[in-house]
Amino acid sequence: MLYEHLLSFMIFTPVVGMLIVALLPSSQKNWVRWSSLLFTFLPLCLSGILFLNFDQALADMQFVEKTSWIPTFNIHYAVGVDGLSITLILLTTLLSFLCVIASWGIEAGLKGYFSMFLLLEAGMLGIFCAFDFFLFYIFWELMLLPMYFLIGIWGGPRKEYAAIKFFLYTLFGSVLMLVVMLAFYFYSDPHTFDLIELSKAGILKFNALDIFGISLSAEQFAKLLFIFLFIGFAIKVPIFPFHTWLPLAHVEAPTPISVILAGILLKMGAYGLLRISYPILPHETYWFSDALAVLGLVNIIYGALCAMAQITLPEAKGGNDLKKLIAYSSISHMGYVLLGMSVFTVEGIHGAVFQMFNHGTTTAMLFLLVGVIYDRVHHRKIDGFGGLGNVVPIYTAFVSLAFFASLGLPGLSSFISEILVFLGSFKVYPSLTIVATLGIILNAAFFLWALQKIFLGPLNPTYKSLKDISARELLTLAPLAILVIVLGVYPMPALDLMKSSLDHLLTLFQAL
């Protein structure tokens, strides 16, 4: 029973939790907190069981549950897990659990907050488990609503703008995805939403047709669909021209939500590309790979430069915000993922998926850390600190660890993934990769600069008696720190999980 429906249990436990939390009296704040903790802990345990029972040698979906849902439309409730998704599932359950701990201090609208949070977790887990496109889409959107409220209600001063922007952007992306979904269904024979069925050769056959008076051949139409799908996912990643929602949303969201946003939501775009675009439209993916590589490069460099500008720009011009710096650095780091994905080499793709995981852990740490300091001093101005290193040594140590992990210091997990990405992409795009390595320097530059501004130099007397990290905060940070270090020294536990599936994915491209 448990093993057969493991994934369903995992996805729907938070939903049950949401209902329970919603029914608790709002005066019992601690009950709400503890039950939320429980209902994020249970999925964590379930994902642990999943991890232990996961067969690394299999490339296909495991723990599959597939039952007919809407027979007239051939929609299935189909969930399963493979090497591509398992790391992200683990990341999701872990971060959700940690974020509940990090949300302990929230007072206003506690019940609503945790209900939304649990719904969000269910949505995220659903996305990573679903392999029916329709189900995937439902979860994809399901996650949007709680996110909107979480940013919009519990966010910072410009929360409304941030929330609506996030919402509009993502909705725009997802309606494009909807078109592609319907087109896949229509052009597949037999009609199906099953991603695995769709990826089989010969199922999808496109026709030539006219759109707006422009006649498209079948191949061009497939490319058009790919681009639609790509934009849908690109907005989530976010890829360069579609990124402007991100700094704002990250900055305005409350800390735990920023963590989820950066740690998990950004991965969904890349995951979607790998799960849907790659296997189903391999030729189009291949056709697009040059552009993807360039976009990856742009993300890397552009994100890094914008992050650096956070240090140089005064506050009035929208700079000087630590959280924004981290947000932009996320853009830069997701660039590595894109770069790795754009080359169909073993190193590249493993690097990309591993980078997704690593970015999840490091950036989660970063946002949690910003939250820690924000809780104490109620601002995030990079200029507003100075010399905290001796006042809050443990905090400093964690920040340094997170910063160094983000800038790809060897021995920490991001390094492995970045190096894999580079080794992979160098084979295909040597010159481009060389330019991309600039990103490493730029990343180092702004992270170190920020580190210096905040922790080094003469002590700002205002913060003479700043409190160091509390036990609860330590609890949220330590697991991530351990992951960062352990996987940095020995990455195989994570890479082993994804190996078979990614190799299988690559076989699709070997003939191209």
Partner 1 sequence: MLEKVLWLWLTPLATAIILLFLGKRLPRRGDWLAVMGLGLSLTLSLSFLLELFQTHTFEWREQMAWLSLSGLSISFGWLIDPITILMLCVVTTVSFLVHLYSTEYLKGDPNYARYFAYLSFFTFSMLGLVLVDNLLWLYIFWELVGLASYLLIGFWFEKKSASDAAKKAFLTTRIGDMGFFIGIMLIFYKTGGLLTYDDIFKFVAQGQFTGEFLGIPILTLAGILLFLGAMGKSAQFPLHVWLPDAMEGPTPVSALIHAATMVAAGVYMVTRLYVLFTPEAQLFIAYIGAFTAFFAATMALTHTDIKKVLAYSTISQLGYMMMGLGVGAYVAGFLHLVTHAAFKACLFLCSGSVIHATHTQDMREMGGLKSKMPITFWTMLIATLSISGIPFFSGFVSKDLLLAGCLSFVMEHPEHLLLALFAFITAGMTAFYMFRLLCMTFLMPAKNLKVIDHAHESPWAMTLPLCLLSGLSFAIFFTGSLDGAGLLQVFGSWHDWFNEVILNPAPLDEAHGNAHGPAMALSLILATGGILLSYLFYLKKPELPQRLAQNTQAIYQTLIHLYWIDELYQKIIIQPLLKLNTFLADRDNRWIDQKLVDGWKPLTTQTSKGSGHFDNIVIDETLVDGSAVVVSTSAIQLRKIQTGKVQQYVLMAIGAFCILLIAVYFL
Partner 2 sequence: MNILMNLTLYSPELILILTLGFSFTIHLILKNRVITLSLVVFGLLAAALDILVLYAYPGQLYFSSQLSHDVFGLFFKLLFLISCLLTLIFSYDSHEIHPDRFGEFTLLLLAVTIGLSTLVAASHLLTLYLSLELVSITSYVLAGYRREHLLSNEAAFKYLLYGAFASGTLLYGLSLLYGTTGNLSFYSIHASLNSAYIDPFNLYAILFMIFVGFAFKMSAVPFHMWAPDVYQGSPTPVAAFFTVAPKIAGFAIFIRFFYLIFSNETVVPGQWEPLPYLNWASVLALLSAATMTLGNLSALFQKNAKRMLAYSSIAHAGYMMMGLVVLNQTGLSAILFYALVYVCMNLGAFFVVSVLSNHFQSEEISLFKGLGWHSPFLALCMTFFLFSLTGLPPLGGFIGKVYLFWALVSKELYWLLWVGILNTVISLYYYAYIVKEMFLERPSSKMSLQVPYVQQAILGMLAFALIVFGLYWEPFYIWIQSSLTFTIFQ
Residues found near partner 1 in the complex (CB under 8 A): 160-161, 164-165, 168, 241-242, 244, 247, 302, 305-306, 308-310, 312-313, 317-319, 346-347, 350, 387, 389-390, 404, 409-411, 415-416, 419, 422-423, 426-427, 430, 433-434, 437-438, 440-441, 444-445, 448-449, 452, 455-459, 490-492, 495, 499, 503
- Identity at 403, one-letter amino acid code: F
Question: Is residue 145 a contact residue for partner 2 (CB under 8 A)?
Answer: yes
Closer residue to partner 1 in complex, CB, 377/506: 506
Cβ proximity to partner 2: between 159 and 323 the closer is 159
Please choose which of partner 2, partner 1, none residue 427 contacts, taking the beta carbon within 5 to 8 angstroms, the exact cut-off set by kind: partner 1
- Dihedral through CA 152, CA 154, CA 156, CA 160, nearest 10? 10
Residues 45, 58, 209, 435: which binds partner 2 (CB under 8 A)? 209
| Cβ 60 to partner 1 shortest distance, Å | 16
Distance between CA 311 and CA 382 in Å, rounded? 7
The entry of partner 1, partner 2, none near residue 273 (CB within 5 to 8 angstroms by kind) is none
165 touching partner 2, by CB under 8 A: no
Decide: is 164 part of the binding site for partner 2 (CB under 8 A).
Answer: yes
Q: Distance from CA of residue 218 to its chain's centroid?
A: 33
The angle at the Cα of 258, spanning 255 to 262, to the nearest 5 degrees, equals 145
Site for partner 2 in 422-441 (CB under 8 A): none
In the complex with partner 1, the residue whose CB is nearer, 35 or 460, is 460
Binding of partner 2 at residue 160 (CB under 8 A)?
yes
Q: Is 244 in the site for partner 2 (CB under 8 A)?
A: no
Number of residues in contact with partner 2 under rule CB under 8 A: 37
Q: Angle 473-494-253 (CA atoms, 0-180°, nearest 5)?
A: 40
Which letter does DSSP use for residue 2 in this model? T
Class of residue 22 by CB neighbours under 10 A (exposed 0-12, middle 13-18, buried 19+): middle
172 lies in the binding site for partner 2 (CB under 8 A) = yes
Token pair for residue 417?
């993934």
- Does residue 110 contact residue 40 with C-beta atoms inside 8 Å? no
Span interacting with partner 2, options 53-61, 171-179, 438-446, 457-465, rule CB under 8 A: 171-179
| Residue 138 found at the interface with partner 2 (CB under 8 A) | yes
Q: Is 186 in the site for partner 2 (CB under 8 A)?
A: yes
Burial class (CB in 10 A: 0-12, 13-18, 19+), 384: middle
Which two tokens mark 490? 């020995």
User: Token digits for 382?
Assistant: 């990079």
Q: Bridge partners of 79?
A: 65, 130
Binds partner 2 (CB under 8 A): choice among 72, 431, 465, 510: 72
- Give which of 219, 180, 505, 140 is closest to 346, Cα–Cα: 505
Using rule CB under 8 A, residue 193 touches partner 2: no
Q: Is 114 in the site for partner 2 (CB under 8 A)?
A: no
Query: Which of residues 123 and 389 has its CB atom nearest to partner 1 in the complex?
Result: 389
Residue (46 or 407) nearer to partner 1, CB: 407
Nearest residue to 504 via CA among 56, 59, 84, 57 = 59
Q: How far is the CB of 424 from partner 2 (least distance, A)?
A: 36
**What tokens does 270 get?**
């890349």
The amino acid at residue 67 is T
Residues 225 and 207: their CA atoms lie apart, in Å, by 12
**DSSP code of 277?**
I
CA distance 490 to 485: 9
Provide the binding-site residues for partner 2, judged by CB under 8 A: 69-73, 109, 112, 137-138, 141-142, 144-145, 148-149, 152-153, 159-160, 163-164, 167-168, 171-172, 175-176, 178-179, 182-183, 185-186, 207, 209, 211-212
